[in-house]
Amino acid sequence: MTMASQQSSDKRTHILNVAGRLFLENGFAGTSMGDIAKAGAGSKGTLYTYFDSKEQMFDEFMHSEIEARANLVFELPEHTENPAAALRELGVRYLKLTTHPTVSAILRLVIAEASRFPKIGKLFYDGGPKAAHDKLTAFLHRCVEQGHFAIPDVSLAASQFVRLCQADIWLEFLLCVREAPDSGEINYLVDSAVEAFAAAYGRRSGASAPQSHQ
């Protein structure tokens, strides 16, 4: 990378950092390109040099904060003799991701703004939940092919597993009714989810639930 391209990349990152802070503080509708410029990201002309629109800026901010984390969370093996253990690891990582302060703030922001700006809701869904769902569905399909599970609808089962992990605690947290679950609560939720999932779909011993980590 040349010095000029590095400077351009650094400037783009700086703009996203400034914009992201304002999005989280004021919402998508409450943040204008002028606000971002005044907050130290450069002139409006500079902003449009790097981004075509506020929507593009918001999309890139979301992905910069969530995509790398989500890819790690839903990194699943091509082949496993213990799918329950793999699901448990995924469940713990998933709950830690979705209760992370920045990630949960972005999710609350998207929910608040999506009715007025459906495009940002779709951008978030496609780049986050849908991409993650597709990876989990593919993993469960491989598990069925390898004889670990008997699942008639792997896409539905993927959704069911995530909801089992969330239980009521995740929604209570999202609505600010309670604090984020601690490690003990997360372990309990995920162990219970894996046990229920394996009981519903398990076909042989390799699919049995792992021991509780409490």
List pLDDT tens digits, range 38-47.
998 788 898 9
Q: How many CB atoms lie within 10 A of CB 41?
A: 22
* Closest residue by Cα to residue 21 from 31, 12, 8, 7: 31
Contact 31, 22 (CB under 8 A): yes
116: its two tokens: 């007025």
Cα distance between residue 54 and residue 74, in whole Å: 29
Residue 143 CA from chain centroid, whole number: 23
Q: What is the per-residue pLDDT for 97?
A: 92
* Closest residue by Cα to residue 139 from 212, 194, 90: 90
57: its two tokens: 């800026």
Cα distance between residue 152 and residue 97, in whole Å: 29
Cα distance between residue 201 and residue 151, in whole Å: 6
CA torsion 190-195-201-206 (nearest 10°) is 100
* Closest residue by Cα to residue 14 from 53, 48, 33, 40: 40
pLDDT in tens, 165-180: 999 999 999 999 999 9
* Closest residue by Cα to residue 87 from 192, 175, 179: 192
Q: What is the per-residue pLDDT for 1?
A: 60
Q: Is 124 exposed, middle or buried (0-12, 13-18, 19+ CB in 10 A)?
A: buried
N- to C-terminal Cα separation, the chain: 49
pTM > 0.95: yes or no = no
Q: Length of the chain, please?
A: 214
Residue 31 φ/ψ region, left for φ over 0, alpha for ψ in the -120 to 50 degree band, beta for the rest: beta
Q: Tell me the pLDDT of the chain (214 aa) as tens digits.
A: 676 677 788 899 999 999 999 999 999 989 999 999 999 878 889 899 999 999 999 988 988 887 767 777 888 888 888 999 999 999 999 999 999 998 999 999 999 999 988 888 998 888 889 989 999 999 999 999 999 999 999 999 999 999 999 999 999 999 999 999 999 999 999 999 999 999 999 875 444 444 444 4
Residue labelled with tokens 């390109």: 33
Domains, the chain: 8-66 (1.10.10.60), 69-201 (1.10.357.10)
Q: What is the per-residue pLDDT for 212?
A: 42
Cα distance between residue 8 and residue 14, in whole Å: 10
